[in-house]
Amino acid sequence: GQNIDQPTEMTATEGAIVQINCTYQTSGFNGLFWYQQHAGEAPTFLSYNVLDGLEEKGRFSSFLSRSKGYSYLLLKELQMKDSASYLCAVRDSNYQLIWGAGTKLIIKP
C-alpha cells in the first residue's frame, strides 16, 4: 500500500529552527509537496521537490532524497504565525496525490 509518515505534533520556540520529517512509500514518484494549513482554513502551497536536494524559499526550505523516500521541511526564525499543520503529499505514478496526516506545529514564545 501507499503510505506517508510524518510526526503528529511538534513544539518549538519562537525564533528557533524546526525540521519536520516526512517519509513515503508510494507506487512511483512524481514530486513531493509541502503545504501549510491553519486551523479551519484550506492548505496553502509551500514547496515542491521533484529532484534530490534542497530547495530554499525564504525562511522555509525543503529537502528531498528519492532513494531514501525521505523529505523534510525546515523552518527558520520561527514566528508565532507559523503555528499550523504542515502537510506532506507525494504524487505517485498515476499523478494521484497521496497525503500525509499532517504535523501540527506549536510555537511557544
Partner 1 sequence: GAVVSQHPSWVICKSGTSVKIECRSLDFQATTMFWYRQFPKQSLMLMATSNEGSKATYEQGVEKDKFLINHASLTLSTLTVTSAHPEDSSFYICSATEGHWDTGELFFGEGSRLTVL
Scanning the chain, the segments in alpha helix (DSSP H) are none
- Of 1, 51, 95, 109, the one binding partner 1 (CB under 8 A) is 95
- Of 3, 13, 25, 96, the one binding partner 1 (CB under 8 A) is 96
| Count of other CB atoms within 10 angstroms of residue 72 | 19
Total interface residues for partner 1 by CB under 8 A: 18
Region of residue 22 (phi > 0: left; psi between -120 and 50: alpha; otherwise: beta): beta
The answer to whether the beta carbons of residues 22 and 88 sit under 8 Å apart is yes
- Of 22, 71, 73, 100, the one binding partner 1 (CB under 8 A) is 100
Minimum CB–partner distance for residue 77 and partner 1 (Å): 23
18: its cell numbers:
524546526
User: 3-state DSSP call for residue 82?
Assistant: helix
Please say which residue, 16 or 62, places its beta carbon nearer to partner 1. Answer: 62
Query: Binding to partner 1 (CB under 8 A): which residues in 9-38?
Result: 30-31, 33
What's the CA gap between 30 and 79, in Å, rounded? 32
| Residue 93 contacts partner 1 per CB under 8 A | no
Q: Which residues bind partner 1 (CB under 8 A)?
A: 30-31, 33, 40-45, 48, 87, 95-97, 99-102
